[in-house]
Structures are given as C-alpha cells and as structure tokens.
Amino acid sequence: MRSVRARAALGATLVVAVALVAAGTAVLLSLRANLIDRTDLQAEVAARDVASQIALGVPYDRLELPDEDDERPVQVVGDGGRVLAVSEHLEAIDGTGSTDVRPQSAATDRGGDDDDDDNSDRGQVSSDDPRFGSGTATVDGDRADFRFAAVEVGLDDDRTVTVYAGAPLTTEQEAVTTVRDAMLVGLPLLLAVVGGVTWLVTRRALRPVEGIRREMAAITRSEDLGRRVPEPGSGDEVARLARTTNETLAALEASVERQRRFVADASHELRSPIASLRTQLEVGAAHPELLDMPGAVEDTVRLQQLAADLLLLARLDAGERPGHALLDPAQLLAEEVARRTGDRLPVQVTVAEGLHVAGSRGQLARVVGNLLDNAQRHAATSVAASVRREGGRIVLAVADDGAGVPEQDRERIFERFVRLDDARTRDEGGAGLGLAIARDVARRHGGTLTVGRSASGGALFELTLPDADRGR
C-alpha cells in the first residue's frame, strides 16, 4: 500500500475501530453491571419480604409467595437442605440451596414430629448483606435465567432458614443484546464514513504536494532551475515545504550558475598563460635564439599558481574541514613576512604576543600571503601588518597607502575572478582568486574577512578569528 491517502485512511479507520470496540465493550459491561445490580435489588426485596413473614412466625404453608403472574420464584430452605416452601407453579430450579421444588413435611424427616410445619417460633432476619448468585428456574413451563438473593432468618430455637428469591435476567439480556446488535450494525457504517472522510480530507490536503511533485519532475526533465514550485496560500506545513523547496531551488540555481561562471573564468584564465607558453615554446623550437626563457618561466609559475588556487577552491567547495592545530598568529605573520624577500616594499609588523587561534596552518598562511600580495600590488610607499586581541576575537590586519577600495566594490572584490580593472594580462597581477580564497578560508575557520579604509587612505583588510584561548 504505497498511497499516503490509503495508509492514512486505513490508519484512521483502524484507530477509530479500536476505540469504538473498546468503548462499546465498556458500555456493554457497564450496562450489564447496572442491570444486574437492578435485578439483584428486585430479588433482594422479594427475599426480605418472605424472610420478614417467617420472622413474624407465619407458618410456611401460609406464606404470601409470588403468584404465577409474578416472575420471581421463591424457595425456603431449612437446616439440612430441607425445602420448607416454594412459590406456586415452580417446576425446576438450580443455583439455590436445593433443587427440590416440593416442600418436605417434618413427619417425613423427623418420625412424625410436625412441629416444624407449624413454625410457631418467631425469629430475626439477618442484618448481613444477602448472597447473590445466578441460576435457572422453570415456572409454568418457561425456563429462564435468574439472579437469586439468599436472605437468612435465625429462629428462636437456633434453627436457620434461608429464603431464596429470584429475579429474571430477561430484561438485562434483551437490553444488552439490543445494544450489542446496534453496535454491530452501526460500527461498520461508522468506520466506512471515517475511512471515506479521511480519504477525501487527505486527498485535498495532499493535492498541493502532488503539484509540487509534478513541478519538480518537470524541472528535473527540463533542467531549468529557474522554475519554481507553486506555493499554496494556506500557511501550513505544505506551504512551508513549498517555500523551502523554492529556496533550495534558488540556492541550487545560484550554485550551478556560480559553477558555470567559475568554469568559464577558469578556462579563460588558463587559456592565456597556456597560449603564451605554447607560443614561446614554438618560437624557441624554430628559433632558439629568440626564446624568452624568463617569460616562459614566469608563465609556468603563473600557471602553477592558478592551478593551485583552483585546486584549493575545489577542496573548499567540497566541504573540506580545517584542522584544529593551535597556532600563534603573530608567529604565522612573522614567518610569512620573512619568507617574502622579493617584495618591493618592506612590511611594518606590529603584533601582540601570547595569542592563539585554531585551524589549518597551510590555509591560514595562504590567507596572510594573499593579503600581503594584494597590499604589495596596490601600496604606494608602505605596507603595515598587525595582530591584536579585540574582545573574544583575534584580528590580523593588513593595511596599505594605495588608492583603497571604493565602498560600492568592497563586497564584489571577494567574488571569484573579480578584479576592479579590466586588464587580464600577466602584468596586472593575479587572476582574481586570492581574496575569494581568503574569505572562504576565513569562513571555514569560523571567522570573517572584511575590507575598509586605512588611516593612510588605502585599503585595510581585517581577518577576524575566534580566540582559541577562550575555548580552553
């Protein structure tokens, strides 16, 4: 059963069925218990009426017992199980003190002494609650089920007489049967209604989901990520699902577009040094004296750096997690500055000691190198770098005194293959990947990379990272 509607309808029907069966059983048991209590009360009233007559000394053969129109059979039983009196037209009985339905005379049992038949002794009805039991009796040819109440009478001569009076269970049985039959008839109808209503409601509720599915299937077939699924105006879970789906499609579209642009820009950037290198090698092969060896080496180095940048971006896009090594940012900056012996301008370094960040040494060193490269490329006379603690963060700043970055371009320069000039010759610097890589690495380390205006009017890049000492 693969349909959600079918499973929902079946589940709701089963739940309602279990609930109705449990409730119906409880109702039947409660109804039966109440009717039995009512029947017991009727039997007790009849038994105490006869017991009161015996206690007053009325002879057994003169007791006022229920007649044939009264459906309550009575049996009076003495010590030893001797039947002393029974109601009229009682033909058979069980569930009482004796199955006899004919009174036994005292002369039969006691050698002619018939004092018991006179029953001139008075007595007292027991104050204890009567005993109740179930049995059957045949009255005037009709056999039926009864509830019997047993009331004891203690006579003055220490004898005990027990009066059994019954009340028919016919009313109780008929009522329980009627209610049970009504439930058996109504339960399937009610379950059919519940199943049908659940089916219709579920179908209506899932109709927007089916629309979303069809649109997603169409998007998959057409590969048009610009399409969006319909968003119902209900504001419920389905509407939120549609909204989230559209947001996912928008993110996927942006990612694919970014990937396409990345591939196109990477192809363009790779084409230039490869074409230049090929030209130089072809010229060198034909005319060795004309080979520009420094230019060939420079193109090879540029090609190698571009390939390394593309590889690092690919690893970052794949979700590579940075390491958790404990690093000293001051030492990291000092090592990077010391390594750069060919820079055209010296770097003024100001650092605070004893600071630590956590991450990948290679990636963070790459960020520092990219920031220093950018500053060297645009500075007029000076480049300054510093490391400081600011609140719970470590800030590594690189400033220059160049033209600076226009405010409207301060976010755009972090995009891949973006350079504020339109030149793409090797004399103009890198391929526009350095700052994009630096920001990606900063984000992977839980930090930020921003650009502003330095005190000398140039660009001020600030790399902010979590203070590792705060987390220990």
406 with 425, same domain: the answer is: yes
Compute the mean pLDDT over every residue in the chain, rounded to the nearest whole number.
83
Looking at the chain, the whole-number percentage of residues with pLDDT higher than 90 is 29
CATH of the domain at 394: 3.30.565.10
Choice among 8-17, 309-318, 388-397 with the minimum mean pLDDT: 309-318
Task: DSSP letter for 408, please.
Answer: G
DSSP 16-30: HHHHHHHHHHHHHHH
Q: Is the model more confident about 442 or about 281?
A: 442
- Indicate the number of domains in the chain: 3
Question: How does pLDDT run across 223-236, given as a tens digit for each residue?
Answer: 788 888 888 877 77
Residues paired with 383 in a beta bridge: 347, 400
403 assigned to some structural domain:
yes
pLDDT at residue number 288 = 78
Angle (CA) 447-452-454 rounded to 5° is 120
Domain-terminating residue out of 317, 337, 360: 317
pLDDT at residue number 70 = 67
13 assigned to some structural domain:
no
- Is the per-residue pLDDT at 261 higher than 80? no
pLDDT at residue number 296 = 74
CA separation for the pair 282, 109 (Å, rounded) = 145
Domain-terminating residue out of 134, 158, 175: 175
Over range 371-378, report the average pLDDT. 91
Report yes or no on whether pTM surpasses 0.75.
Answer: no
Question: How does pLDDT run across 177-213, given as a tens digit for each residue?
Answer: 999 898 889 889 988 898 888 888 888 877 888 888 8
pLDDT at residue number 171 = 84
DSSP 243-294: HHHHHHHHHHHHHHHHHHHHHHHHHHHHHHHHHHHHHHHHHHHH-GGG--HH
Question: How does pLDDT run across 356-367, given as a tens digit for each residue?
Answer: 999 989 889 989
146 with 260, same domain: the answer is: no
307 with 331, same domain: the answer is: no
258 with 338, same domain: the answer is: no
Question: How does pLDDT run across 334-358, given as a tens digit for each residue?
Answer: 999 998 887 889 999 999 888 999 9
Half-sphere exposure of 279 (CA within 13 A, CB side): 9
205 assigned to some structural domain:
no
CA separation for the pair 182, 220 (Å, rounded) = 55
CA separation for the pair 146, 136 (Å, rounded) = 5
Domain boundaries, position 154: 18-175
pLDDT at residue number 110 = 33
pLDDT at residue number 396 = 95
CATH of the domain at 129: 3.30.450
330 with 466, same domain: the answer is: yes
Lookup: tokens for 187: 């339960």
Q: How confident is the model at residue 426 (pLDDT cuts 50, 70, 90)?
A: very low
73 with 160, same domain: the answer is: yes
Q: Is the dihedral of CA 232, 235, 236, 237 positive or negative?
A: positive
Half-sphere exposure of 16 (CA within 13 A, CB side): 19
Over range 260-277, report the average pLDDT. 74
Question: How does pLDDT run across 285-320, given as a tens digit for each residue?
Answer: 787 777 677 777 777 777 777 777 777 777 777 777
